[in-house]
């Protein structure tokens, strides 16, 4: 194991990974459509605007538009690759958690809840426990996921 793992704040890294989960699912789901849109916008020739304003002639406008589209597609593909890499790393650990742990972590970190915005009350109501027990439940679930992602250490 690399020495850097000793200095990584695994708990904070796990929280950041949980917060990125829905974004990565979105990227994987919608990147194909975004790429199709870029292809379509780059495929056609530009049409003149009939607004009466004088035009500046740019003989390489078509090539510049094509280059811009290629660069944008490359960025979208790289973002998609990173999202797939993230999901291959995160999804097995997330799936290994109990349903209760996933609910707790999702409530605290994913469900559009800022930390302390009532997530503890939602968890407490769901499990019929006190708020302090909800926070302990969150800590245990977070520790379980951290161990699954980064191992003991």
Hey, where are the domains in the chain?
A: 10-150
Amino acid 105: pLDDT: 94
The structure's pTM equals 0.78
- The answer to whether 142 and 14 have CB atoms below 8 angstroms apart is yes
pLDDT in tens, the chain (153 residues): 566 666 778 889 999 999 999 999 999 999 999 989 888 887 766 566 677 666 667 777 778 888 899 999 999 999 999 999 999 999 999 999 999 999 999 999 886 655 556 888 999 999 999 989 999 999 999 999 999 998 875
Amino acid 33: pLDDT: 92
Residue in 84, 92, 81, 85 with CA at minimum distance from that of residue 149: 92
Tokens at 109, concatenated: 């970190």
Tokens at 61, concatenated: 């406008």
Secondary structure in 3-state letters for the chain: CCHHHHCCCHHHHHHHHHHHHHHHHHHHHHHHHHHHHHHHHHHCCCCCCCCCCCCCCCCCHHHHHHHHHHHHHHHHHHHHHHHHHHHHHHHHHHHHCCHHHHHHHHHHHHCCCCCCCCHHHHHHHHHCCCHHHHHHHHHHHHHHHHHHHHCCC
**What whole-number distance in Å separates Cα of residue 118 and Cα of residue 124?**
10
Amino acid 64: pLDDT: 84
């Amino acid at each position: 194991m690399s020495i850097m793992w000793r200095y990584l704040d695994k708990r904070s890294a796990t929280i950041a990974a949980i917060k990125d989960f829905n974004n990565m699912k979105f990227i994987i789901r919608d990147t194909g459509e975004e790429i199709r849109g870029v292809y379509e916008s780059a495929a056609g020739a530009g049409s003149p605007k009939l607004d009466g304003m004088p035009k500046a002639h740019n003989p390489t406008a078509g090539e510049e538009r094509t280059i811009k589209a290629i660069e944008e597609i490359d960025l979208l593909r790289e973002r998609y690759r990173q999202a797939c890499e993230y999901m291959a790393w995160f999804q097995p650990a997330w799936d290994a958690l109990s349903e209760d742990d996933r609910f707790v972590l999702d409530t605290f970190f994913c469900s559009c809840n800022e930390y302390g915005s009532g997530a503890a009350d939602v968890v407490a109501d769901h499990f019929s426990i006190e708020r302090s027990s909800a926070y302990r439940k969150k800590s245990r679930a977070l520790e379980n996921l951290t161990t699954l992602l980064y191992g003991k250490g």
